[in-house]
Amino acid sequence: MSSDSTSPHRDGEHRATPKEVGEPAPAFELPGAGEDGIDTFDLADYTEEGALILSFYPFDFSPICTQQLCGFRDAEWLAFTDNIDVVGISVDSAYSHHQFRDEYGLTFPLLTDRLASVAGQFGVRYDEWERHPAVCQRAIFAIDTSQTIRYTWWTEDGSEQPTLDDLYESIEWVA
């Protein structure tokens, strides 16, 4: 997919498109809601012993975002794969994430990228979306143990839903 909009990069530069397969994943540390409540989560914690799937999404409780995250919850292949973790990232607060996880039985952490700065580092930030400034675009990145991006999917159309079939078919690199 392509993008005509620009997204702020960490150094104030602008990225016209998301990070691509083969590029290093930007390091991050974000607050969020996980199994033990609200905590801080770090990319390195997830990539030490396995792969990480980052699922960026605009907002908790919106219908398409709920479908997207429940799709990960319901993916049988993820339930039987010990060395792949899933993390959701949006601009919503950790408190909203906690409620969202509880209401939908999500078993993976939801992280708070309040200003969409991490989304910007990955090149998937709307400057404005539905009258909200700085929002994460809908995107998926799979990252390996060397913190290299091995799969990407993103869209400019916030109503477009990713298919997890393509992601599943692309993860043969996970041991």
Q: Is the separation of the CB atoms in 51 and 150 below 8 Å?
A: yes
Q: Is residue 65 among the annotated active site residues?
A: yes
- Mapping DSSP to helix (H, G, I), strand (E, B) and coil, where does residue 118 land? helix
Q: Is the separation of the CB atoms in 29 and 42 below 8 Å?
A: yes
> Residue 136 and residue 97: Cα distance in Å, rounded?
15
> Residue 105 and residue 71: Cα distance in Å, rounded?
12
> What DSSP state is assigned to residue 137?
P
Instruction: Give the CA angle between residues 30, 33, 35 to the nearest 5°.
Output: 125
- Which residues share a beta bridge with 153? 140
Task: Return the closest-CA partner of residue 33 out of 78, 83, 89, 115.
Answer: 89
The residue to which tokens 């908790």 are assigned: 60
Catalytic residue among 65, 75, 89, 110: 65
Which sequence positions are flagged as catalytic? 65
